[in-house]
């Protein structure tokens, strides 16, 4: 088969994956502490005239290319023969804005730190400080996962009834009595953090370090760092690229069938 068909297939697959990433970013536009994902493409170029070497394959490939040149535009050829393969995604670590909420259990982070949370999958990290007190009196996330304390491995924070105050270092007090310290973790530049839905991230074992350059602010929440306008523009662009590549594949398929029926017998 002509290399262009494989190019269109690979390009469509990459654009479909990019479409999922863009849609996921937009879906979390209002998720506190959410970090958007950015796609990274690897450019590949289909070799001109690539195909089988020697024998009938050369004649078939030449006939196919000639036929395709009659039905595809320059733009379509460019989209087909200069295609991108999705190399991966990376998190945009740009901080969102801290927005006042007036809720004493809402906590925003200034700096690059993360809250440590105990989940069923193990310790995870988030910038979403929308906390609440469980029925058992433990500080938990909005999904019910305990917020870890900086006082020891696996320690949680008990919050008795009363007026809650949270200092900039994460020390939590109720009616003036210290009940615990919210654990903050920082990661070295380049650490691979893996999204696990919403604002929750997984980190390599042993990569989390006690925060030294981060503080918290009570009564605020960090907004998502998704830029709504840029995300919509990106989504539209990805959709158009996918539609073009779908058209390319359809044209290839039509020409394959026509050549197989009319030209193959002559080779």
**Looking at the structure, do residues 205 and 231 belong to the same domain, yes or no?**
no
**Looking at the structure, do residues 214 and 260 belong to the same domain, yes or no?**
no
| Per-residue confidence band for 260, with pLDDT thresholds at 50, 70 and 90 | low
**Looking at the structure, do residues 207 and 234 belong to the same domain, yes or no?**
no
Q: What is the pLDDT of residue 124?
A: 96
HEC string of 159-201? CCCCCEEECCCCEEEECCEEEEEECEEECCCCCCCEECCCCCE
Answer whether residue 58 shows pLDDT above 50.
no
| Angle 199-202-203 from CA coordinates, rounded to 5° | 130
* The overall pTM is greater than 0.75: no
**Looking at the structure, do residues 212 and 110 belong to the same domain, yes or no?**
yes
**Looking at the structure, do residues 125 and 193 belong to the same domain, yes or no?**
yes
**Looking at the structure, do residues 89 and 106 belong to the same domain, yes or no?**
no
- Please name which of 200, 227, 68 lies closest in space to residue 128, comparing C-alpha atoms: 200
Q: What is the pLDDT of residue 141?
A: 96
**Looking at the structure, do residues 114 and 212 belong to the same domain, yes or no?**
yes
Averaged pLDDT of the chain:
80
**Looking at the structure, do residues 202 and 124 belong to the same domain, yes or no?**
yes
Pairwise CA distance, residues 168 & 58, whole Å: 72
**Looking at the structure, do residues 163 and 87 belong to the same domain, yes or no?**
no
Q: What is the pLDDT of residue 123?
A: 95
**Looking at the structure, do residues 72 and 167 belong to the same domain, yes or no?**
no
Pairwise CA distance, residues 43 & 11, whole Å: 10
Number of domains in the chain: 2
Which SS3 state, helix, strand or coil, does residue 213 take?
Answer: coil
Q: What is the pLDDT of residue 249?
A: 73
**Looking at the structure, do residues 61 and 153 belong to the same domain, yes or no?**
no
Q: Quote the tokens at residue 18.
A: 């990019």
Q: Which residue has the higher pLDDT, 191 or 256?
A: 191
Structural domain boundaries, residue 112: 98-222
CB 178 within 8 A of CB 157: no
**Looking at the structure, do residues 161 and 89 belong to the same domain, yes or no?**
no
Pairwise CA distance, residues 59 & 128, whole Å: 61
Q: What is the pLDDT of residue 151?
A: 72
């Amino acid at each position: 088969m002509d290399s262009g068909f494989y190019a269109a297939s690979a390009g469509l697959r990459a654009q479909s994956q990019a479409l999922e990433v863009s849609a996921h970013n937009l879906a979390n536009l209002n998720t506190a502490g959410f970090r958007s994902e950015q796609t990274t493409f690897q450019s590949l170029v289909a070799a001109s005239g690539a195909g089988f070497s020697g024998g009938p394959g050369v004649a078939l490939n030449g006939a196919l290319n000639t036929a395709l040149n009659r039905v595809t535009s320059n733009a379509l050829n460019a989209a087909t023969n200069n295609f991108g393969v999705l190399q991966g995604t990376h998190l945009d670590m740009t901080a969102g804005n801290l927005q006042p909420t007036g809720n004493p259990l809402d906590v925003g982070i200034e700096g690059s730190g993360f809250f440590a949370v105990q989940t069923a999958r193990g310790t995870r990290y988030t910038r979403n400080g929308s906390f609440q007190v469980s029925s058992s009196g433990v500080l938990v996330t909005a999904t019910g996962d305990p917020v870890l304390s900086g006082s020891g491995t696996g320690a949680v924070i008990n919050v008795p009834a009363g007026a809650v105050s949270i200092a900039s270092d994460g020390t939590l007090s109720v009616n003036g009595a210290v009940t615990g310290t919210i654990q903050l973790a920082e990661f070295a530049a380049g650490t691979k953090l893996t999204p696990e839905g919403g604002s929750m991230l997984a980190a390599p074992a042993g990569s989390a370090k006690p925060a030294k350059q981060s503080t918290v602010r009570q009564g605020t929440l960090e907004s998502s760092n998704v830029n709504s306008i840029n995300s919509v523009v990106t989504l539209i662009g990805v959709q158009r690229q996918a539609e073009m590549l779908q058209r390319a594949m359809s044209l290839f398929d039509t020409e394959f069938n026509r050549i197989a029926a009319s030209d193959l017998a002559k080779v």
